Amino acid sequence: MLTLAFRDDHAVVHLMSDTERMSLLAGDGTAPSGAEVEVPIMDDLAAFTGDFVLDVDRAWDLVHLFTQTRAAGPLGEWCEL
């Protein structure tokens, strides 16, 4: 399962490959590595470093690609939590 959380021009993409494994897609440089960006997760705002922040349009494109191919690997570098 792939999830997209976004706020304004920033987005974070999560991959849940099974019930015990979750990964974040590496950021695209939209936000500096040391910066914190908040996006809504469920009913709260969650802070992520720029290492995991993407431009919202790029993130939507990647989600669309995932729905077409059902392959997460080609979307970019994944960092397991």
Q: Where are the domains of the chain?
A: 2-80
Q: Is the pTM of this model over 0.85?
A: yes
Which pLDDT band, with edges at 50, 70 and 90, does 17 fall under? confident
CA distance linking residue 76 with residue 34, whole number of Å: 20
Confidence of residue 18 (pLDDT cuts 50, 70, 90): confident
Retrieve residue 1's tokens. Answer: 């399962």
14's torsion region: left (phi>0), alpha (psi -120 to 50) or beta?
A: beta
Band (pLDDT 50/70/90 cuts) for residue 4 is very high
Nearest to 52 by CA among 11, 20, 7, 21: 11
Tens of pLDDT, residue by residue over 20-67, are: 899 999 999 999 999 999 999 999 999 999 999 999 999 999 999 999
